[in-house]
Amino acid sequence: MALLRFFTILRVLTFYRLDADLQFLQLPVALRLALRLSPLQWLPRCDVQFSRGMRMRLALEQLGPVFVKFGQLLSTRPDLVPQDIVCELDRLQDRVPPFASDEFVAIVEAALGKKISEAFFSFERDPLASASVAQVHCAVLPSGEEVVVKVIRPGIAATIEKDLSLMELLAQLAERFVPDGRRLRPVEVVQDYRHTIFDELNLQREAANAAQLRRNFDQSPMLYVPKVYWDYCRQQVMVMERIRGIPVTDIAALNAQGTDMKLLAHRGVEIFFTQVFDHNFFHADMHPGNIFVSTQHPSRPQYIAIDCAIVGSLSRDDQYYLARNLLAIFQRDYHQVAQLHIECGWVPPHTRAADFESAIRTVCEPIFEKPISEISFGQILVNLFQTARRFDMTVQPSLVLLQKTLLNIEGLGRQLYPQLDLWQTALPFLERWMQNRYHPKNLLAEIRRHGPGWLEKMPEVPELLFDAAQQIRRFEQVAPAIQSTAEQMVLLEKRQQLGRKRGRIAVLVLVVLGLLWPQWELLRSAVPWQSLLVLLAALWWWTG
């Protein structure tokens, strides 16, 4: 079955001309010839006019839900994937035919340990939505609350495991043979995908994320997160409040109810920065399918967020350096941007700040020539990371998730209100956050938070200092021996290199003598043997 699936994948990739760049791969000549003569080349091909991004999207959709999810993950990696492909993969739809309602009911009953009629007052057998990993049905609890029941697709874990094994094989081949394969890190991308998609198979994790996000925005006029009913949640089953709202992309319906589109767009930006900097816990899958707008008080519109399977957070240092970087970009202080990247370790410490500053200026200055309302803040962040990658920057997954979320939010905001000035919304927020970070009240809160731990460890400090001093003394005693051993190892390595070099010379001489032996008499009369000895001595001396 695995072999059949492998050939199916090859056939689909060939049909959509994704093998078109094989001639540029560093494959062995025999393998390139075998691929050129393969029967796959005789199969029909799609229209050559399709862009490479469109061909990749269509291929992933044909290969099935696991590959669709993988394409969605790739669309979150603009630091690795070209922008034209990212834009096309953003269009991947996660809608698949539903599985049987009887099977859905059986999974729910097995998980809850009771009949569906006992667990719910009423249950709708027709699904509300069906995606690659899960399916959703509506129900009513015995207490009268309207809810949605989400269930993981049966057998999906085994399907994912088979396809992931094939993906890992293809990634290993790509890393070995594709130019820049190591830089693109395809094996690492597939491993990240493995963690992401198997996390999505645990609905209790998603429920916990939703509960945290709901608590963070409790009583907030900006964002509403449905309530989770924990008594009905299991690893394969999740029950949460049913929401009724307008899809955020339904501009006609939003206008029909008199929604304040400007305020809606600005609140989307404010929600993003609040999640990232105030809560340090952000919904990282905020594509339009997961966002609705409440039908209540349209003059003060409120977002509704669902599907919290993917969330992100930043370390305290990354959070601080990101805020300072964004403020420096606002002020066009490219030198500070370069210095901050080096200070926080996003680029290697040996990076020359002047070179990095020049590269950033080259990318950003043309963008700032546009009117402020037309500048894409998210795209600047993408360009910044792409520039930093040339200086061996390794982007952390949390930063990539944040970058992708910002792109989604900004794109959505501009769709709702084309005149959206994200800078006007973001700059006061960042300045206020930086001021509050060092406000005496926040510093006192940090002392209260960490103070008990510091006091608990205080009695150990003298002993730790004494141990450190003892270790320094011991190191000073053994340092000469370590240095002597290191010098001996260097000397031994040099001797081994000399032996290997002389061995190669000896082999070469023997080979040459073997080739010349039939003409030895003629050679001896033409070249004095003393000259050969001098040549051999010179080679021996040169290898030393």
How confident is the model over 429-448, as pLDDT tens digits?
888 888 877 666 665 666 66
Question: Which has more confidence, 44 or 254?
Answer: 254
Which of 102, 165, 159 shows the shortest CA–CA distance to 132? 159
Give me the residues paired with residue 367 across strands: none
- Supply the residues annotated as catalytic: 285
Amino acid identity for residue 6 in this structure: F
Q: Between the CA of residue 310 and those of 18, 53, 206, 210, 286, what are the distances in Å?
A: 29, 24, 8, 10, 9
* pLDDT attached to residue 24: 43
Task: Give all strands (DSSP E) within 298-355, no chain letters.
Answer: 303-305, 311-312
Question: Which has more confidence, 451 or 229?
Answer: 229
CA 82 to chain CA centroid, nearest Å = 14
Confidence of residue 504 (pLDDT cuts 50, 70, 90): low
Residue 107 has pLDDT above 80, yes or no: yes
Looking only at the bridges linking them, the beta strands covering 223-224 and 303-305 are: parallel
Residue 308 has pLDDT above 50, yes or no: yes
Give me the residues paired with residue 312 across strands: 282
Q: How far apart are CA 384 and CA 391, in angstroms?
A: 11
Q: How far apart are CA 447 and CA 451, in angstroms?
A: 5
Most confident of 8-12, 86-90, 312-316, 388-392: 312-316
Q: How far apart are CA 337 and CA 76, in angstroms?
A: 24
Contact by Cβ (8 Å): 237, 150:
yes
- Neighbour-count burial of 303, counting CB atoms closer than 10 A to its CB (0-12 exposed, 13-18 middle, 19+ buried): buried
The number of C-alpha atoms within 13 Å of 452 and in the hemisphere containing its C-beta is 3
Question: Could you give the strand order of the β-sheet that contains 245-247, starting from the edge strand earlier in sequence?
Answer: 223-224, 303-305, 291-294, 245-247
pLDDT in tens, 11-51: 777 777 665 554 444 555 555 555 555 565 656 666 666 77
Element (H, E) at 407: helix 397-416
Over range 88-112, report the average pLDDT.
85
Over range 62-79, report the average pLDDT.
72
Q: How far apart are the first and last CA of the chain?
A: 59
Amino acid identity for residue 200 in this structure: E
* pLDDT attached to residue 25: 47
pLDDT in tens, 165-178: 877 887 787 777 76
Contact by Cβ (8 Å): 265, 417:
yes
Residue 260 has pLDDT above 90, yes or no: yes
Question: Which has more confidence, 249 or 539?
Answer: 249
Q: Between the CA of residue 156 and those of 66, 93, 200, what are the distances in Å?
A: 9, 18, 11
Question: Which has more confidence, 65 or 110?
Answer: 110
Q: Above pLDDT 70, what percent of the chain? A: 72
Domain ranges (residues) in the chain = 2-96+157-198, 247-438, 462-543
* pLDDT attached to residue 454: 60
Most confident of 10-14, 88-92, 110-114, 371-375: 110-114
pLDDT in tens, 458-490: 676 677 676 677 777 776 776 677 777 777 777
Six-digit token string for 455: 């006091």
Confidence of residue 532 (pLDDT cuts 50, 70, 90): low
Q: What is the mean pLDDT of the chain?
A: 77
Contact by Cβ (8 Å): 68, 92:
yes
Range with lowest mean pLDDT among 88-92, 154-158, 350-354, 496-500: 496-500
